[in-house]
Amino acid sequence: MIWQFDLIILTLVVICAIAAICLKDLLSAAVVLGAYSFLMCLLWTEMGAVDVAFTEAAVGAGVSTIFFLSAVFRTTRRTKD
């Protein structure tokens, strides 16, 4: 565990999480959530949980982002609230 590396990733995770909630454009929010998942994947790898990181990269950053994107494309891009 390199604490500087840890600190950078954790800061970016928090920034991405808040940005994903605050963004009004749902397409951007989905992409930021994908970035969040990828940062979580880096965090798992750094903690030594490689299997979990692999799942996070495949499911969280990959497929669920596609699901969010296709849902946005088929509904509406702007959030109401």
Partner 1 sequence: MKFLGIKGFGLIAVCVTGILLVVAVGDFPNWGDPQSPASRHLSPHYITETLEETAVPNIVTSVLADYRGFDTMFETAVIFTAGVAVIFVLRVLRSAKESAVPEEMDPELTHTDVIIRTIVRLLIPFIQLFALYVVMHGHHSPGGGFQGGVMLGASFILLAISYDLKTALRRLSERKVLILGGVGVLIYAGIGTICLLLGGNFLDYSALAKILPATDTVMARSHGMLGIEIGVAIAVMAIMMVIYANLSSRGKYDKGL
Q: Footprint of partner 1 on this chain (CB under 8 A)?
A: 50-51, 53-55, 58-59, 62-63, 66-67, 69-71, 73-77, 81
Is the CB of residue 57 less than 8 Å from the CB of residue 36?
Answer: no
d(CA 66, CA 2): 32
Q: How far is the CB of 81 from partner 1 (least distance, A)?
A: 6
Nearer residue to partner 1 within complex by CB, 11 or 55: 55
d(CA 31, CA 42): 17
Q: How far is the CB of 58 from partner 1 (least distance, A)?
A: 4
